Amino acid sequence: TMLIALDENQQRIIAYKADKKLHYFCQECSEQLSLRQGKVRRPHFAHKAGSNCEAAHCNKTEWHYEWQELFGLEYAERVIQAAGIKHIADILLGDTVVEFQHSKITTEDVAERNEFYQQHSLNTVWSRNAPLCSCSSAMCATSLLLWKK
C-alpha cells in the first residue's frame, strides 16, 4: 500500500486528494494501481493481485503512515533510481533517507538498501518500532528534524 502514486501526467498525487475516476500508477514499477478510499482505513493506493512489484508486498501500517506525515508528505515515498534499480525511500530529506521499519526485514535487505543509498551519496537512518510521542505533531516533527542540523 502507498499514500502516493503518479497520475496520468506523471505528477505525484496523495491518495486522499485523488479522484476515483482517474488512473494512477506506481512510482516504482509503473503498473496501474487501485485507489482505495473506504471508511475503515485511510485512503491509499494498492497494486492489483498478482503484481511482482516490491512495493506491492509492503503492507504499511498506520504507524508507518503517521511517521511519514510527521516529516511531511512532500518528503514521503520518494523514488531513488539508478542503473535500472529503483527504491522508494520512506522519507528523503536532503541527502538523508529515513526508513521506518515496523515489520520483519532480513539483514541482507537492510544491507542492500544501505549500500544502494550509499552509492548515491545518501545517508540512511533506520527507525525500527519507534513509538510515536504524545506531543503535538508540529512539536514532534521539529524535534525529529533536529538531528539533521
Amino acid 131: pLDDT: 57
Q: Which three cell numbers stand for residue 96?
A: 538523508
Amino acid 84: pLDDT: 84
pLDDT beneath 50, residues of the chain: 135-149
Q: What is the pTM of this model?
A: 0.76
Amino acid 49: pLDDT: 87
Contact 31, 53 (CB under 8 A): yes
Amino acid 132: pLDDT: 54
Q: Which residues of 21-57 are buried (b: 16+ CB within 10 A; e: fewer)?
A: eeebbbbbeeeebebbeeeeeeebbbbeeebebebbe
Amino acid 9: pLDDT: 96
Amino acid 60: pLDDT: 78
Kindly report, residue by residue over 96-110, the tens digit of the pLDDT. 999 988 877 888 988
Please tell me the distance from the alpha carbon of residue 83 to that of residue 79, in angstroms, as a whole number.
13
Amino acid 21: pLDDT: 95
Amino acid 80: pLDDT: 93
